[in-house]
Amino acid sequence: MATFFRRKAAAVTLGVLALTLAGGGIAVAQPATKAPAEVAQPGAQQAGVAGQPSVTAAEAQQARAALKVSLAPPAAGSVAWAVVTSGGTLLQHSANVVSATKYGTGQYQVLLDYSVVGKAFQATIGTNDQFNVPPAGEISVAPRNQTPNGVFVQTYSSGGSVSSKPFHLFVAN
């Protein structure tokens, strides 16, 4: 019995040594060049690339005015929604959506008449045409900097470059 365990221990030791050497050889075989982050992960933000545009004094005043005209925030469990063109025009929207603004290629702000701090946002690329076949692309959504009743939306092409796209936005309350 002792001979059996000694032979098995020797076989296991040799197996572990062989796998260790083989694994080390695989780890050394890495590509000579590394793909940039934009290729590795479309839409990834490169260092030095600006995020949201700065909030101007006029925009801050517009946001404060929108908060003051609020009828009432939607009830818990309801949603506020907007359909926005690639040009930044509101096509359709719920009663609590005040405006949409396009800042530049693929950058939008949607203002509501209540604070959206702590709310859930969802956006998808899409239109409201009869057949509703949206263009291909990607989208990201975040709270608007320094604007408690604003949502920031950024759209991208399928390749990850910033591109203006129409979208649908939902804010869950």
- Give the number of other Cβ atoms within 10 Å of residue 63's Cβ: 22
What residue segments make up the domains of the chain, in order of their start? Answer: 70-172
Closest CA to 171 of 100, 111, 81, 90: 81
Q: How far apart are CA 2 and CA 86, in angstroms?
A: 77
Mean pLDDT over the full length of the chain = 80
CB 80 within 8 A of CB 115: no
**What does the pLDDT look like over 80-120, one tens digit per residue?**
999 999 999 999 999 899 999 999 999 999 999 999 999 99
The pLDDT assigned to 120 comes to 94
Encoding tokens for residue 63?
Answer: 């946001």
The pLDDT assigned to 35 comes to 47
Q: How far apart are CA 11 and CA 19, in angstroms?
A: 12
pTM of the predicted model as reported, rounded to 2 decimal places: 0.68
Stretch among 48-52, 68-72, 88-92, 153-157 having the lowest mean pLDDT: 48-52
Q: How far apart are CA 2 and CA 14, in angstroms?
A: 19
Q: How far apart are CA 93 and CA 161, in angstroms?
A: 28
The pLDDT assigned to 69 comes to 75
The pLDDT assigned to 6 comes to 62
